[in-house]
Amino acid sequence: MLKFKTMLSEDVTVGDFPEGIFGELSVEKKSENSKTAVFVVRSEDRLGDRDEILRSLKQAGVKAEVKEKAGQGVDPIVIDHHFDVKVILLIKPKSGGIGETTLNASITELFPAIAWETGYKPTTNIDDFYNHLLEQDPSKLKCIQTSDLDAAVATIQKASESSKFSEKMLNAMGVYKYIQEENKSKRIEQVYWGYRAKPAGVPKNHPGDIFIKFIDGEILGVSLKAGGKKTKEPKLNTYVNPVFTAFKQVRQVSLLRRELHTKVYKQIEGMPSSGQYDKSKKRITAQLLVKLNKDDSTKYESLYDQHLEICRKSIITLFNADKDKTLDYIRSEILRDAPDVPTKVIKAVKDTYEEITSDDELGVFLPMVKFVRAYSSTSSKQNWFLELKSRDTNVIMEMSIRTNKSGNAGQKKLGQYFNLAIKYNSLSTS
């Protein structure tokens, strides 16, 4: 017979993790009890993919860390405080080599750096570009840190095995064009691949994928994305709970939970109490949400709209409460608090590129900010804005709050409870 605590434990599923955390990797639950849930991630590049998952979790606002565990060739990731139970991610071998997710990212990061250092004259021919790379001796390239040499060799050797080889090679060409354009504006001394190790002078937790060192000694971090012409990638992708935690306003989360229960969840027949509905009775709540959506989807959506507005107002109130705390949050969570190494986000689109952020501009502007105002969009249920004012300039950070879970009505929307996704999408200046 199961113990009572075990019966009450909440199942953690792969769908409960932040969107896109595992990329193309295979993930399955191994076990779960009242205290711990264990997931197995299958990878061909265990160490590399482990570190990518860890970085993605932290970017999504999930407190995770690598902990030593006897008998594991690669130490697992442990998440202690995000779910109702401790979650352990075991990184298990697939068949050896470098994983495709890591391989694809590395193609777009490493190959432009090599192209720059070796003076490659760009063509539109993918095979010519790849043959040029194969001719190089990675051990003699300054763009590769010694500790990343093995990964660089594997990337070059296995690039053609990627199912997205042509696409990623075009993306690499696009990033190379960006480097060449930067050089026209300001002479470049060296470009570095930021795989695991970072060049001297760069914080080890810097979000850059490549680093451009200019002739005057200044360093620019470049975070690389790949996507279609019309896709938009957020610069912050986190959740309500870690935002309140960063502001040291955890008590406000309890108030938000109770308000949501009183004004939204309590309107559903059979709903557990405010102290239990999203905790010990979470499973019952999920079942009620699925039933409500099946019986009366209009009411479900109406309640979700109310829920969304309550959460949006709560976040807006938080950002309006203290100007200095808001600016500190922007520095630490969006700009990653690396004032000496600013970051640009560049999106590779086929064989060209576009800059999708003005983070560098934002970092320069912050010390001049005299006034901060957060407010709701009048045309969207999920969008909101963060306005920063100096004496003569207004900067608008376009933000959003929304569900980002997949699955049934007990998992997404109302099933996500208070912890909706928070995103910073773009910047405009007037």
Helix (H) or strand (E) holding 283: helix 282-295
* Residue pLDDT, tens place only, 406-422: 788 998 999 999 999 99
pLDDT class for 335, splitting at 50, 70, 90?
A: confident
Who wins on pLDDT, 310 or 341?
Answer: 310
Q: How far apart are CA 175 and CA 120, in angstroms?
A: 13
The answer to whether residue 231 is domain-embedded is no
Within 13 Å and on the Cβ side, how many CA atoms surround 239? 22
- Buried b / exposed e over 406-418, threshold 16 CB at 10 Å, is eeebbbbbbbbbb
**Neighbouring-strand partners of residue 78:** 65, 88
Same domain, 69 and 174: no
- 292 touches 268 (CB < 8 A): yes
Q: Provide long-range contacts, Cβ within 8 A and 24+ apart, for 292-296.
A: 292/268, 292/409, 293/408, 293/409, 294/409
Residue 293 burial class via C-beta count within 10 angstroms: exposed 0-12, middle 13-18, buried 19 and up: buried
Q: Provide long-range contacts, Cβ within 8 A and 24+ apart, for 153-159.
A: 154/45, 154/97, 154/98, 154/103, 155/98, 155/103, 155/106, 155/107, 155/110, 156/110, 158/97, 158/98, 158/103, 159/103, 159/107, 159/111, 159/130, 159/133
Query: CATH number of the domain that 88 lies in?
Result: 3.30.460
Nearest to 287 by CA among 402, 406, 408: 408
pTM: 0.55
Same domain, 28 and 47: yes
- The mean pLDDT value for 392-399 works out to 90
**Neighbouring-strand partners of residue 423:** 237, 400
- pLDDT at position 355: 73
pLDDT at 228 over 80: no
Among candidate residues 57, 73, 93, the one where a domain is terminated: 93
Among candidate residues 78, 93, 108, the one where a domain is terminated: 93
pLDDT at 338 over 80: no
pLDDT class for 357, splitting at 50, 70, 90?
A: low
- The mean pLDDT value for 371-376 works out to 97
- 233 touches 225 (CB < 8 A): yes
Q: How far apart are CA 267 and CA 251, in angstroms?
A: 24
Residue with tokens 């900067």: 395
The answer to whether residue 351 is domain-embedded is no
Q: How far apart are CA 175 and CA 379, in angstroms?
A: 35
* Residue pLDDT, tens place only, 270-293: 999 999 999 899 999 999 999 999
- The mean pLDDT value for 173-200 works out to 94
Determine the structural domain holding residue 417 and report its residue range.
Answer: 236-342+357-429
Same domain, 109 and 62: no
Same domain, 312 and 288: yes
Same domain, 114 and 207: yes
Same domain, 305 and 274: yes
Same domain, 408 and 338: yes
The answer to whether residue 352 is domain-embedded is no
Same domain, 187 and 138: yes
Q: How far is CA 241 from CA 254, 289, 305, 407, in A?
A: 10, 22, 19, 21
- The mean pLDDT value for 365-379 works out to 92
The answer to whether residue 349 is domain-embedded is no
- pLDDT at position 179: 96
- Number of structural domains found in the chain: 3
Helix (H) or strand (E) holding 174: helix 165-185
Same domain, 269 and 218: no
The answer to whether residue 350 is domain-embedded is no
- Buried b / exposed e over 199-224, threshold 16 CB at 10 Å, is beebeeebbbbbbbbbeeeebbbbbb
For residue 245 the two structure tokens come to: 């935690």
Measure the CA dihedral 67/69/75/77, to 10°: -50
pLDDT class for 3, splitting at 50, 70, 90?
A: very low
- 252 touches 313 (CB < 8 A): no
Helix (H) or strand (E) holding 347: strand 343-349
* Residue pLDDT, tens place only, 72-84: 667 889 998 888 8
> CA angle 404-405-406, nearest 5°?
125
- Work out whether the CA dihedral 117, 121, 123, 128 comes out positive or negative: negative
Same domain, 136 and 176: yes
| Number of neighbours of residue 40 by Cβ within 10 angstroms | 17
Q: How far apart are CA 350 and CA 166, in angstroms?
A: 9
pLDDT at 187 over 70: yes
- 92 touches 41 (CB < 8 A): yes
- pLDDT at position 309: 98
The answer to whether residue 256 is domain-embedded is yes
* Residue pLDDT, tens place only, 20-54: 889 888 899 888 888 888 999 988 778 778 888 99
Same domain, 132 and 76: no
For residue 404 the two structure tokens come to: 């980002």
Same domain, 404 and 423: yes
Nearest to 152 by CA among 180, 194, 190: 194
- 393 touches 267 (CB < 8 A): no
Among candidate residues 93, 115, 148, the one where a domain is terminated: 93
**Dmax over Cα atoms in the chain, in whole Å?**
72
Q: How far apart are CA 170 and CA 175, in angstroms?
A: 9
Residue 75 burial class via C-beta count within 10 angstroms: exposed 0-12, middle 13-18, buried 19 and up: middle
The answer to whether residue 347 is domain-embedded is no
The answer to whether residue 298 is domain-embedded is yes
